[in-house]
Each structure stands twice: as structure tokens, then as C-alpha cells.
């Protein structure tokens, strides 16, 4: 197994843990589930809003599952060149987090809507680390 395949496989397993949490324990604070957002608990006071939030959570989980399965196909059947391109695409796609999601979660964190405090920074560093790992694996 190549380094690129190992990096993609590690990413697949991390994303799979997130999918499982989103489907079966969305209110958890583990595996990047939504329990870190104080709005999750507040939304339970408004069943129609809570159902809408759950719908969006399950939609994200479904999209992630499609993505995971496609990555699995790349690991199993793609040649080395396609796998390298996949890592570049993963790096670019993951970097889009900083365009819309990071400013929003940072704003919520500063407003006290995220628990634990400064979770946005930890998440931002973790995502940056993924991008670096994707790019470093391309060099070897």
C-alpha cells in the first residue's frame, strides 16, 4: 500500500467516524458532531427547527458517505496518478473550509455559542493539518 493510499484511508476512517456520529449521535461533542453548538440544545425547544437541523445533519452525513465510498473506490481501483490528483483535490476541497465555515464557527465561538470555548481554533488547526498531510504525501 502506498503512502497516498494510507493517507486517503486514514482520512476515510476519520470521516467515517464523523458520519457514524452524525447519523447515530448527532448531539455528541465527539468526532466533529454538532453537540459543540449550543444551538443544538436550544433547537429542541422548537420541534420544527430541530427537525430541520436534523435533516441538514443527515444530509451532510449522506454526502460524506458518498464521498467516503468514492475515496474507497479510488484506493482500490485508481492508478497512482489518479490517486495523486485525488490528494490535490482533497487539499483544495478541504481548504474551502476557511472560506465560509471557519469565519462562521469562529464568530459563534467568540459569541459563546460553542462549547468548549476555542473549539473553532482546534478545528481550524486540525483541518490545516489535514491539508498539510495531503500535500506532504504528494511529495513522497
**What average pLDDT does the segment 91-102 reach?**
97
What mean pLDDT is reported for the chain? 97
Distance between CA atoms of residues 65 and 120, nearest Å: 24
At residue 56, the pLDDT reads 98
Q: Which residues contact 51 (CB under 8 A, 6 or more apart)?
A: none
Band of the pLDDT at 95, cuts 50, 70, 90?
A: very high
Q: What is the pTM of this model?
A: 0.91
At residue 140, the pLDDT reads 86
Amino acid at each position: 500500500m502506498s503512502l497516498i493510499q494510507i493517507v486517503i484511508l486514514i482520512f476515510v476512517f476519520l470521516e467515517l467516524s464523523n458520519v457514524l456520529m452524525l447519523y447515530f449521535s448527532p448531539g455528541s461533542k465527539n468526532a466533529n458532531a454538532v453537540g459543540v453548538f449550543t444551538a443544538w440544545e436550544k433547537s429542541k425547544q422548537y420541534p420544527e427547527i430541530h427537525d430541520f437541523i436534523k435533516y441538514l445533519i443527515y444530509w451532510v452525513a449522506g454526502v460524506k458517505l458518498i464521498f467516503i465510498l468514492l475515496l474507497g473506490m479510488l484506493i482500490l481501483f485508481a492508478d497512482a496518478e489518479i490517486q495523486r490528483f485525488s490528494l490535490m483535490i482533497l487539499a483544495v476541497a478541504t481548504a474551502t473550509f476557511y472560506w465560509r465555515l471557519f469565519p462562521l464557527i469562529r464568530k459563534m465561538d467568540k459569541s459563546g455559542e460553542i462549547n468548549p470555548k476555542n473549539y473553532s481554533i482546534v478545528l481550524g488547526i486540525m483541518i490545516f493539518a489535514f491539508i498539510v498531510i495531503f500535500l506532504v504525501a504528494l511529495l513522497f
